[in-house]
Chains A and B, each alone.
Chain A
Amino acid sequence: MTTPPAFDATVLAAVLTSVLPLLAFGVIMIFTRSRERLSAMISIGAISGSLACALFLLVRHWGLAEPILYTGRWVTSGEWTIPVGVLLDPASLLMLTVVTSISFLVQIYSLGYMAGDPGFSRYYGYMSLFAWAMISLTISPTMLQLYIFWELVGLASYLLIGFWYEKYTASQAGKKAFVMTRLGDVAFLLGLLIALLHLGNLNIMELNAPAVTAKMPPAMLTLSAILIFGGVVGKSAQFPLLTWLPDAMEGPTPVSALLHSATMVAAGVYLFARLFPFFSHSETAMSLFLAIGTISMLLASTMAMVSRDIKQVWAYSTISQLGFMIMGLAAGGYFAGIFHLTTHAGFKALLFLCSGVFIHAYGTNDMFDIGRSGGRGLKVPMICITIAAAALAGLPPFSGFFSKEAIMGALAELDNPFWLTAGLAGAFLTAYYTFRLIFVLLFPKSRAHSAHDTEHEDHHGGYSAMAWPLVILAAVTVVLGFGQHGLERFLTGFHQGPVIHLEGGHHEWLLFVAVGVAAAGVILAWIEFGKPGAAQVGFVERIPPLRDLFAERWYIDHFYRWFLDTVIYRGFSRLFTRNDRVVIDGSLDELSRATVETGRLLSNLHLGMIQYKLMVLFVTMILLGIYFFFLG
């Protein structure tokens, strides 16, 4: 660990990268809300500053040998100090770059997408807030600081999901996202408290140090790890808290792109990667995480197979890909998880931004409608979405192929072949539902409206602002996979704890199996949706009970509704209401009535009746006499 002097260029850049968006947020919300273009310029200027700083840091510290830690004191109380600061290690540098570049591209894209919206300035203000929270979360050196920004990320995503708050469903979706992630965060906080009780501080470096096993009993460590993982489950929308993410589609599409790729949900997986050595001390916790990742991945994949809403398909795929990352991390593949997080950020942002162009152009979220109205006429987004979909499906040579391969490699290292099988099944489903969507867009059944195929490109002035980020992201998606070895050396250079190096070629068969499985998914999708004369009805949709099960999200939401209605509302709420009425209200009423009664009684002494006063006098004298005689 090295601590640079206070005004080193590194520290300055790290502080700048996080503070610039905050300044932009403040300026926009206070001064420039009425001036839309200026607000957008401020916000984009700030995020490009952050991006520049992040790139500077990445280039300067490429191949750094040990983490750079810089802390100052924030609060001092007696023996206690709460530090704030900056921790730069390969994971945070990489994440910082991902976050700033995706935020930058999404903000550029939003210039076109959000043009003319009455809340344009507010939108950019929230975007800056979001970027600030996420960047600061990335470089936090202590869990407390991380937790604070973790909550701020939740707040910003709440504001952005419910951005069109006049729409009832949007405000409901925002609320749902907030409440469900909060459930996980409570567990997270409890886990942190357990760790704090044993360690006395929450420095990430100390949590990750091998000495932690000596300071914490194994059971406590497992409990703490599982509780902290609760936060990951909430944030990254894993089972059983996964239903908020599909609803979060109510926000503007660029928000979804940001939320699903680099910020909100990625925060969960990033936390996992951050505390990876800490978590890997506990075998039990790791196998639980593996199971949760697997369940989420399979559940979400099946949900995506029947959805007609283009954004919802990507939302389910996000859950499933996050499940993949967690599987990879839990299987011990530290690099595999982070690598998939990085590549996923690129192609998922691309998928959403492309879908945004379609939605913007045709005013509908339904993939069949978009296909019918001539979606493939929009050349740039169509090509880009196909590239991104290929990456998502894990087809070579796109980035998703490499990272998925790394995760499969990590899963193959496990003794139990079940996990690898589940991973391959997930890859098959992913390829299937991804290309189902692509084929529906490319080969619509009836082309009634194909007359105005190309008109749309000219109608919307912001098209070029929207197209450039797509092209950049598509290029990244194509290229990034080949940087695997460089990144791997960078990330695992000094990493402590058990890390599986995926160097050996003893899983060559796996490569072919994985690609074969993905190709099988694509072929199945082709037969059902792409082939000329195909019915465009998936095999799942032919089995109504299965279709309903998937379309209703395995009835998880229904279960929550039922649980809320019966247990919370009818059980606890009613009990507490009764308690409130009878015990609390009742006792206060009784107390006040008794006071009034006593007053009334005592007021009889003041009727002007001399004899009562005399009597009181005598009684007092006698009591005083008894007191002094017997006790005095």
Chain B
Amino acid sequence: MIVPYNHVLILSGVLFLMGMFCATARRNLIMIVVGLEIMLNAASVAFIGAALRWQHMEGQAIVLFIFAVAATEVSVGLALIVSAYRRTGSVDPGMFK
């Protein structure tokens, strides 16, 4: 393994923080969902790195599951956002009081 595992973890941590920031700070439902996706991907990166590091297939398997969950989440989430947008004419979560 050329890339040391530490670096993989740092990358995944940075990605996770960015996703966190995006999910909490942006006032746009779509960007929140994007933030969630980024956090999921950060976790996936960490799993892939771990699978490589210890030569285990479980990490890659879990990443496949995460893809499925993420795809489902995005489709449901986007559908909800579209529906909310149609009702209120806004994608700002602060407006849904």
Contact = CB atoms under 8 A, between A and B. Distances in A.
Contacts of A609: 93-94
Interface string A226-254: 00000000000000000000000000000
Contacts of B93: 609-611
A610 B97 CA distance: 11
A83 B90 CA distance: 87
Chain B interface bracket (under 10, 10 to 19, 20 to 34, 35 or more): under 10
Given A618-B20, A618-B24, A611 B32 contact: yes
B24 A614 contact: yes
A241 to B, nearest CB: 75
A607 B23 contact: no
Contacts of B25: 611
Interface string B31-54: 010000000000000000000000
Interface in B24-78: 24-25, 32
A608 interface: yes
Interface of B: 20, 23-25, 32, 93-94, 96-97
A623 to B, nearest CB: 14
B24 A608 contact: no
Given A608-B96, A618-B20, 12 more contacts: A607-B97, A608-B97, A609-B93, A610-B93, A611-B23, A611-B24, A611-B25, A611-B32, A611-B93, A614-B23, A614-B24, A618-B24
A458 B49 CA distance: 126
A615 interface: yes
17 contacts: A607-B97, A608-B96, A608-B97, A609-B93, A609-B94, A610-B32, A610-B93, A611-B23, A611-B24, A611-B25, A611-B32, A611-B93, A614-B23, A614-B24, A615-B24, A618-B20, A618-B24
Interface in A588-627: 607-611, 614-615, 618
Contacts of B97: 607-608
Interface in A422-481: none
A610 B96 CA distance: 10
Contacts of A615: 24
A607 to B, nearest CB: 7
Enumerate the 5 nearest inter-chain pairs by beta-carbon distance, A residue then B residue, closest first: A615-B24, A611-B24, A614-B24, A608-B97, A610-B93
A277 to B, nearest CB: 87
Contacts, number: 17
A607 B25 CA distance: 16
Interface of A: 607-611, 614-615, 618
Nearest to B93: A610
User: Mostly helix, strand, loop or mixed at chain B's interface?
Assistant: helix
Contacts of A610: 32, 93
A463 B40 CA distance: 112
Most buried by B among A607, A609, A611: A611
Contacts of A608: 96-97
Contacts of A618: 20, 24
A621 to B, nearest CB: 10
A475 to B, nearest CB: 102
Nearest to A615: B24
Nearest to B23: A614
A244 B28 CA distance: 86
Nearest to A617: B24
Contacts of A607: 97
A611 B96 CA distance: 12
B30 to A, nearest CB: 14
Contacts of A614: 23-24
A618 B97 CA distance: 23
Nearest to A622: B20
A609 B23 CA distance: 12
Contacts of A611: 23-25, 32, 93
A94 B24 CA distance: 95
Nearest to A610: B93
A517 B24 CA distance: 107
A615 B26 CA distance: 12
A614 B33 CA distance: 13
A617 to B, nearest CB: 9
B39 to A, nearest CB: 10
A618 B23 CA distance: 11
A303 to B, nearest CB: 85
Nearest to B94: A609
A383 B23 CA distance: 112
A625 to B, nearest CB: 11
A620 to B, nearest CB: 13
A606 to B, nearest CB: 12
A190 B23 CA distance: 73
A626 to B, nearest CB: 14
A567 to B, nearest CB: 64
A78 B97 CA distance: 68
Nearest to B21: A618
A615 B94 CA distance: 15
A490 to B, nearest CB: 99
B91 to A, nearest CB: 13
Nearest to B20: A618
Contacts of B20: 618
Nearest to A613: B24
Contacts of B24: 611, 614-615, 618
Contacts of B32: 610-611
B2 to A, nearest CB: 28
A608 B94 CA distance: 8
A607 B20 CA distance: 20
A611 B92 CA distance: 11
A99 to B, nearest CB: 85
A359 B97 CA distance: 89
Nearest to A608: B97
Nearest to B16: A618
A550 B20 CA distance: 93
Nearest to B97: A608
Nearest to B27: A611
Nearest to B32: A611
Contacts of B23: 611, 614
A544 to B, nearest CB: 90
A629 to B, nearest CB: 13
Most buried by A among B24, B25, B96: B24
A611 B26 CA distance: 9
B67 to A, nearest CB: 23
A607 B94 CA distance: 9
A397 B24 CA distance: 110
A615 B21 CA distance: 9
Nearest to A614: B24
A41 B32 CA distance: 97
